[in-house]
Structure 1
Amino acid sequence: MTTTTLAGHALDGAGIDGSLYGDVTDFARHTHWLNGTVSAFTSYGIALFAVFMLVGWWIARRQGHAVMTAALAAPVAAVLAYLVNDGIKSVFIEPRPCRALPHDFLIEKCPPVNDYAFPSNHTTVAAAVAAALFLVDRRLSALAAVFTLLMAASRVYVGAHYPHDVLAALVVGGVVGFAATWTARRFAVPLVVRLSGGVLRPLLTAPV
């Protein structure tokens, strides 16, 4: 299939909310003092979610095997959400806004042509972690959710995604993250119980 044919079947993101995208990037154009901070967060902030999962694991050591199972499932849920999201990208093949609207203000470098926009991978992974942690510790999940929203907003601010890209990603990540973690907590607890009785006990349970 040629590039032209692919473009003919691609999702027209600019036609959905291109004007709203332009409003956000215009805001970015007039807030140069914020550009560096948001750019750094959108590029490296995903590492915070690894920290959140580590904190979730630490908390789970004192909360029993079911909670520990959910904590261990969180990174698996994040990877699964990424894979599902990547599959959706390959179906909709939405060109990045930097290609459809090349004159709009852009902070993040325009990615390759085959790096599609819908939905946002960064936001999907962040949402999956926040949803998974809901079954570990709700306060930690709420904190992760706040940073997930900031990640979603940052992806539009730097010009990498349309607003609908990040909204869809919040749904994909949230649904897959929660479903995968709930399934693990429902069926994988016996495995964690067995592992807790062996050499992995110090990692899976806290000393009484």
Structure 2
Amino acid sequence: MPPDWQLSVWITSLVDNWSVLDEVGKVLASNYFAPKVAAIILVCLWFGTRNYARREYNQKVIVGVAVGTALGFIVAESLCLIQDQTGDFWNRPYLNHDEAKFAMEKLYFPLPDSSFPSNAMCGLAAIATGIGFADRRAAIAVWILVALWAFGRMYVGVHYPVDIAGGILIGATCALIGRYAVLRFDHTLSWLLAKARMFYMA
């Protein structure tokens, strides 16, 4: 078990004490709330200004975000596959602790893959890091979503804090790589965005 398992047990032990907190935790843990809000923010950044130069810059940043997010998922999934192949599987909290099992059964559902790293945090952290190059306020908003989603996932017993930290680290690192990759193909991307504008897609 990870060294932070006691914190995980304490968080999941809060379940069933306050019905309002349970409902909030259930919403925050879902795969709908945080990703959908993040998607809305990305769309607003993509189309959200009439300034041609600024809009193209934002769009290039978002392409970098997409590259970084995809790379982050590849890294996270590769780590899960390695664990499957080696048999050194990182169990989710609900498989190790009664408190987490109760929380998962009451508020969520079992997940078949490894607990480490958190794929969810990997993706959202990549978005939060990447869009910081375009709009700091938007980045702060997504980092708040990261924190809320992280709490929700721990609250329902599907992640340890170290799973969250690992996912965030991978996502943020891959976002920086994605940003660098986009800068290397700046002229090509400008041409592609010009073509996309012909179809009102950029």
Whether the TM-score (by the shorter chain) exceeds 0.5 is yes
Alignment-derived partner of residue 76 in structure 1: 67
Alignment of 1:200 with 2:191, yes or no, is no
| Residues 197 and 32 of structure 1, relative CA distance in 2, 3 Å threshold | closer
- Partners of 2:48 and 2:55 within 8 A in 1: no
Deviation by residue 1:3-55 (Cα, 9 ceiling, x = unmatched): xxxxxxxxx33xx2211111001123322222122212321122222112212
d(CA) in 2 for partners of 1:121, 1:199: 30
TM-score by length of 1: 0.81
d(CA) in 2 for partners of 1:192, 1:60: 19
| Residues 60 and 160 of structure 1, relative CA distance in 2, 3 Å threshold | farther
Alignment-derived partner of residue 97 in structure 1: 93
- Partners of 1:70 and 1:182 within 8 A in 2: no
Unaligned regions of 5+ residues in structure 1, if any?
1-11
Alignment-derived partner of residue 141 in structure 2: 143
Alignment-derived partner of residue 108 in structure 2: 108
Which residue identity is paired with 1:147? Answer: L
Which residue identity is paired with 2:62? Answer: A
d(CA) in 2 for partners of 1:151, 1:79: 19
Segment drifting more, 29-38 vs 190-199: 190-199
d(CA) in 2 for partners of 1:177, 1:196: 20
Structure 1 position 64, deviation (Å): 5.2
Alignment-derived partner of residue 3 in structure 1: none
- Partners of 1:127 and 1:145 within 8 A in 2: yes
d(CA) in 1 for partners of 2:164, 2:194: 42
Alignment-derived partner of residue 86 in structure 2: none
d(CA) in 1 for partners of 2:4, 2:177: 29
Which residue identity is paired with 1:182? Answer: Y
- Report matched runs for 1:25-64 at 5 Å: 25-43=12-30, 44-45=32-33, 46-59=35-48, 62=51, 63=54
- Partners of 2:12 and 2:157 within 8 A in 1: yes
TM-score by length of 2: 0.83
- Partners of 2:27 and 2:152 within 8 A in 1: no
Structure 1 position 148, deviation (Å): 0.9
SS in 1 for 2:11: helix
Q: Among the aligned pairs, what percent are the same residue?
A: 21
Structure 1 position 60, deviation (Å): 6.5
RMSD: 2.1
Unaligned regions of 5+ residues in structure 2, if any?
84-88
